[in-house]
Amino acid sequence: MIKETIERWESCGVKSIDTLSLRNHYSVMFDDEVDGFQHLFNSPIEDIKTLQNHQYLEQKIIELDEIMLLVSSYMENFIKQHFLRDIDGDITIGELMDDYLEQIKGHYNDAMLVKHQINEYLDGIVVNDK
């Protein structure tokens, strides 16, 4: 039991940092605890899921998805670089967070622009007409 526990520590310690991945949770920063992803859309999300043959909408949904992946990648790298490795003693957590937030602010604004474009498009069609 001692050997197995220590080997588990070793495999889950510093050596494991590079394998940490948030990929399976990449959209969490855009999810709402109460409304889920509905908060992104003016139309009911269940109706949007049924839409077909809307190239522009598909393109914009993919664009939003790529932004979510990018923001998640920034978050993952930030965690790996600043929380799971030694932090320079001259830098405060607040300064690190400011830098991180500055990096993702532009991407978040891009996401909100795409959200707006999606909703403008949805407002122009009757969602129930698929």
Lowest mean pLDDT among 16-25, 44-53, 75-84: 75-84
Question: DSSP string covering 37-79, please?
Answer: GGGG-SS-HHHHHT--S-HHHHHHHHHHHHHHHHHHHHHHHHH
Tokens found for residue 76: 């993952």
Tally: H helices and E strands in the chain: 4, 0
* pLDDT, tens digit (0-9, with 9 covering 90-100), for 48-58: 999 999 999 99
pLDDT at 34 over 80: yes
pLDDT band, very low/low/confident/very high, at 119 (cuts 50, 70, 90): very high
Mean pLDDT of 6-16: 89
pTM for this structure? 0.80
Residue 111 CB neighbours (<10 A): 22
> For the chain, first and last CA: distance in Å?
60
The answer, yes or no, to whether residue 69 has pLDDT greater than 60, is yes
What is the model's pLDDT at position 128?
A: 52
Average pLDDT on 54-69 reads: 96
47 pLDDT band (50/70/90 cuts)? Answer: very high
User: Percent of the chain beyond pLDDT 90?
Assistant: 57
